Structure 1
Amino acid sequence: MLGERRVSAAGLVMAFNPDEPHDGQSAVHDGYRYRMLHLGEDLARETLDDAAPGRAGLPLFATPVVDDRALVRYVARLHAAVAKNAPRLVVEERLTAAVLALTRRASTRSALLREPQGRTDLAAMARARGMLRQRFVENIGADELARVAGCSRFTLYRGFRAAYGFAPSDYQRDLRLRRARALLAEGTAPSTAAVEAGFSDQAHLTRWFTRTYGVTPAAYRMALQRES
């Protein structure tokens, strides 16, 4: 409510309605740090309309301080993707997830946004997967995949995961990792393999390659060279 004082802390989400004046200061002498995302009205409305055409509307928050651990994870994952310049598919998937979570878990319109029911269109998902196979190196967006599949982005996200067990961005990353591994096996330098496989730089390749295969790209390439 206007004029009220609220106290937030680590592990909480602060959500403000459009044009709602607010200010803040530290409640302790050591100061404070926070991560902020500004989601414009048009962006939020477009995301919700994609998920529930004509039903959701713009969410309004009943309280500016939300104690919800799951919501914190959704917002933090989106912030990390934006801050680290993640691929478009990653950012767009996490944006949709965060906006839906904010609406369902913290807004006054949560009852209007329910999980849709229905079968997955496997042919549509196969078309989206085919495009990813052909163009995985490109920084392709969800709009293009949804257009090829003939569905909304939200339906694409849900359907792709239902059909294949992972998100479109996960599949794109897997294809890039496979391509990078093949290039490294041919003796290509990690920095070159990263670019040719679609990663933004060598650091991104190294992080995901190590996480997936348990060895750095450089070590993998060197081990194969020793065997040959």
Structure 2
Amino acid sequence: METKRDDWVRYFRAENQPIEAMHAYFRTHRYHPHSHDTYSFGVTERGVQAFRCRGAERASVSGMVIAFNPDDPHDGHAGDAPGFVYRIVHVGPAFVARIFGDALQGGSRQGLPLFRDPVFSDARAEQALSRMFACLFDGGTELERDERLADAILALSQRAGVTRELRTVRESSAARVARAVRAELEDRFASDIDLEALAQSVGCSRYAMYRAFVARYGMAPSDYQRQCRLRAARRLLREGGSLAQAAVQSGFADQSHLTRWFARYFGITPGMYRRSGER
């Protein structure tokens, strides 16, 4: 456990599966706007957790469930002075898609399910998630962990909407620009690139490029590039790299710069993340 003033965090990371979880109390910490490349399912245990997601202000109080789709931009902070306690699990899309495919279409449905609401009340889902968190943080076996995770995902299945691959919506020119900018940022995340060069790479003006990207992904290109760097640093740390190596190879100026932004995006330090694998 590590503290920031009176905030505290516990972190779980599976070594052989795309599963990570956090149990935290935050009174002072504020998340910088970000998204995950995973599904994220959480339960607020105490207090009020406030955040902005999908263009609206949200609040999760005790017993409510949070469900973020991959790439859902959001922030987060205490909704009142006492702060809040919550648990959240991040699960790889392939794992979630497989469980939902079994639940929704007898194994025949393909694609990634999308959750309609980022926060909601559902007693069955909340109880299933709480049982899963107890297993993750209190020493359950790997078999118990997988069973309870599957049970939690199945309990959430009624909240799933259309699948991402099956939607038939024509992509606009602005969406194509945003997607091209995203690909450029992901390819060159560790390099310095200015707004003009980025706009030229996708063949439009700086203003049109910036507006299209923010509309599609809910954050500025600079924030997305930093997020790519942080995801790369997480991967390097999972693979056993040092903090100094992760900072340099992911494009940060130094280790302190990585540490500062890592905590603002993920709520923990990179050192704690590196030590959070199963023991």
Q: TM-score range by the shorter chain?
A: 0.3 to 0.5
Q: Which has the higher contact order (CA 8 A, sep 6+)?
A: 2
Largest Rg, 1 or 2: 1
More helix by share: 1
More strand by share: 2
TM-score w.r.t. the length of structure 1 is 0.45
